[in-house]
Copies of this chain bind each other. A is one copy, B any other.
Amino acid sequence: MAKQKQATRDRILDAAEKLFAQKGFEGVSVRQIMSAADADVSLAYYHFKSKRDLFDQVMLRRVEYLNEIRLQALTEVEERHSDDAPTVEEIIGAFTQPLMQLLADDHDKWSHYYQLIAQINNSPDQGGVLMSRYFDPLVSRFIEALRKALPDCDDEDLYWSYHFLSGALTLTFAETGRIDNLSGGVCSSKDIASINERMHVFLAAGFEKLCEKS
């Protein structure tokens, strides 16, 4: 029955996701979005309450699934260790691996969403509030797991370590092309396999070093 409705709504969300990711919330007009979605301007206000609401729905469309699979990855790691605690590297792997898996499976579907998150995370205006709203429950679970893996680590070191991780993670998934320029072609922003080999190693070492110090 309401098939076409969902189809159009999704086309709008797809176009909005892509354009918001590229140009930011204010950098794109509703007209541009609807033009990219090949639909009339006023349809945006039939399916969504406002431009801001459209943005929110773009965010909410994928965040639940994202949190779900990452939480599942963490519990799987924990269940594999019935008696002892998982290693830092395993926990960080559970945090980052699912994101890379989605990107490898369907790059076009997820890349724009990750770019959007990177922009929000680094937005001084509302970034802190929005990121906390979407991700803090999940992140708190991961930090809890990391606390067990690093029992001598005090909370301040733990939170700052996670913050560094967050910055590295979101920039890497933003695929800005910076590393392509800087490295003169040696590295590519979109080379997921290369990232997959390195990120968790780099970050786990930071956690362990900073926490052994405390």
Contact = CB atoms under 8 A, between A and B. Distances in A.
A4 B176 CA distance: 40
Contacts of A121: 122, 171, 176, 178
Interface-centre pick from A123, A178, A207 (highest chain B CB count, 10 A): A178
Contacts of A118: 122, 124
Chain A, interface SS category: helix
A157 interface: yes
A157 B187 CA distance: 9
Contact of A198 (B122, B143, B157, B178): B157
A208 interface: yes
A183 interface: yes
Copies of this polypeptide in the complex: 2
A63 interface: no
Contacts of A155: 183, 186
A157 to B, nearest CB: 7
23 contacts: A24-B123, A118-B124, A121-B122, A122-B176, A124-B176, A127-B174, A129-B181, A131-B176, A131-B178, A132-B182, A140-B182, A143-B182, A155-B183, A156-B186, A157-B198, A160-B195, A163-B178, A167-B167, A167-B170, A201-B210, A205-B205, A205-B206, A205-B210
